[in-house]
Structure 1
Amino acid sequence: MPYDSEQIIHVFSETADAIAERVSGGVSWAKSGGHKGQHQGDVDADEIGIEIITRQGMTVYSEESGYTYPETPETSEWANVVVVIDPVDGSTNASKGIPFYSVSLCAVVDGVPAIGMVRNLVSGDTYLGQAGLGSTKNGKAISPSDVTEISKAIVGINGYPSKYLGWAQYRAFGSAALELCMVSEGSLDGYIDLSKASLASWDVLGGLLICRESGATVLCQDGSDYAIADLKVRKRIVVAGTQELARGLHRKAWG
């Protein structure tokens, strides 16, 4: 079904602006008493995102609150759109005063990621990826690095490696969405999820689309592409600017 990409981007920008304003204006980063690791700032940002997105008639799937449906989803022109959101990706960083956290949004249209946006809530840098149209940072086209050898690569990680994978250096910044965007622009050569639980769809969908559209390679632990038939399924991923580096990291980590 056709969709209005400009309207979705407008809604995403409005959502990111409102969350950035709320977070910069001061929120409590005390634990909310909700799910493990949830802060009150997550809840506040989530409420803002849900209100803006569902007002447009779109369904929301959020880390903080699961599914939220518009009042009349069956009659909405956006009935085929689910917006996957992490309202504050990296809220632990925010709670500790570490300036590296973001809002991640991805419009899944008829089951396929179509538009992804990640906003750095500290710097304001905005990454956008559209299926078939490439990726941008603050409106300018971006592309990943051309590093092919692990020994020369700077790699972002989630979780803790059980062994040395052969990289030149590694980084663990604490916001998967932003770290994926760093791969898309070439600041990181690769990124790999080494956690026990694996990252969730709200952590990665926006960033993965931005990576793909920039020209980066995305692989799952089982070697397949990242499929989202079920948004609740978690999968370990490896992303790199080149196919050679992605496959090399995959082989080193998982054989």
Structure 2
Amino acid sequence: MTPAELELREYAVLGLVAEASDLALRHFRHRDSLGISMKGAQDWLTVADGAVEAFLRERLAVLFPSDAVIGEEGGGEAADAVWIIDPIDGTSNFARGDRIWCISIGLLLNGVPEIGIVSAPALGEVYLGRRGHGATLNGEPVKVSDATDIRRATVEFGWSTRIPPEDYLALVGRGFAAGASVKRSGSGALGLCHVACGRSDAYAELHINSWDVAAGLVIAAEAGAHISDFFDSNAIEAGNPVLCCTPELQGELERITGIVSRHKDR
């Protein structure tokens, strides 16, 4: 894919995400029409999830018919060029009226994240990253914090029902024991973006799905974060652990989380 073709996709999908954000906000502001249901324990679903994903799928099919699409709700198959969509990341927050949720859409080329867009409409924030072109928040460049000492760091540990609770609690315990301030917000995509803009110094999760991170990993990497080897195996279908942090905290957080990369930076 040429640089011009990538640039076209970047600007086109920024426009699509803006429209999708308006759609999601309309649902968010009328909670009595959300049609809330559960896919499993603490696995929330609303009509907005399906509506936003359907909108993005339809528009992408028209604009870029040769590109594949994988969505959290509708599935799909990987290809050389594939968009990976989470229509509402942080659905539990969304359903409860909490503003910490987002729309996440990332483009992978031959398994490598190239473009990432994360829109948090209720917060008025849009994050953008493109490999080799930096990362922005509402059009302004962002970069990771200068944190080097875990005892002064704020880290976010995402939680998944696919991981035994005792494993998650042990992870949190190791973080506190090392001296970190540990938090959890309920959106992996925004957790990565918050590392990118310096609101947190690290984000880690023992298992996370590709649609939660396909966009955020590009954004965080372009902001200078260390990113673990998330897409080095069959993560598109099966998910993987993820670690995102300031480069100086990589060694300590690999010890705490057990998420070890073959590279020291990327």
Higher mean alpha-carbon deviation, 30-39 vs 133-142, is at 30-39
Q: Kindly indicate whether the alpha-carbon contact (under 8 Å) linking 1:111 and 1:229 is maintained by their aligned counterparts in 2.
A: no
Tell whether the 8 Å contact from 2:111 to 2:231 is kept in structure 1 after alignment.
Answer: no
Which residue identity lines up with residue 143 of structure 2 in the other structure?
A: S
Uncovered stretches (5+) of structure 2, i.e. residues with no partner:
160-167, 260-266
Matched residue, 1:48: 55
1:161 corresponds to which residue? 169
Residue in structure 2 matched with residue 248 of structure 1 by the alignment: 252
Alignment partners' CA distance in 2, 1:226 and 1:33: 28
CA contact (8 A) 1:30 1:95 kept: no
For normalisation by structure 1, the TM-score amounts to 0.85
**Distance of 2:83 and 2:21 partners within structure 1:** 18
> Displacement of 1:141 after TM fit?
1.2
Q: 1:40 to 1:32 in 2, by over 3 A?
A: farther
Out of 104-113 and 81-90, give the one that drifted further. 104-113
Structure that is richer in helix per residue = 2
Paired-residue identity, %: 29
Alpha-carbon deviation of 1:63?
Answer: 0.6
Over residues 73-129 of structure 1, what are the superposed CA-to-partner deviations in whole Å (9 max), with x where a residue is unaligned? xxxxxx842101101111110100111110111111233211111111212311111
Moved more, 160-169 or 12-21: 160-169
Normalised by the length of structure 2, the TM-score is 0.82
Aligned 1:118-157 pairs, distance under 5 A: 118-157=118-157
Q: Is the 8 A contact 1:118 1:126 kept in 2?
A: yes
The aligned amino acid for 1:252 is I
Query: Counterpart in 2 of 1:187?
Result: 199
- Amino acid across the alignment from 1:42: D
Task: Give 3-state SS (helix, strand or coil) of 1:37's partner.
Answer: strand
Shift of 1:32: 4.7
Moved more, 225-234 or 114-123: 225-234
The aligned runs of 1:1-255 (5 Å cut-off) are: 1-2=1-2, 4-26=5-27, 28-32=33-37, 36-56=43-63, 57=65, 58-67=67-76, 80-159=80-159, 160-162=168-170, 163-165=173-175, 166-194=178-206, 198-219=207-228, 225-230=229-234, 231-242=236-247, 244-254=248-258
Distance 2:188 2:52 in 1: 18
C-alpha distance in 2 between matches for 1:151 and 1:30: 44
Q: Counterpart amino acid of 2:209?
A: A
Alignment gaps of 5+ in structure 1: 70-78, 220-224
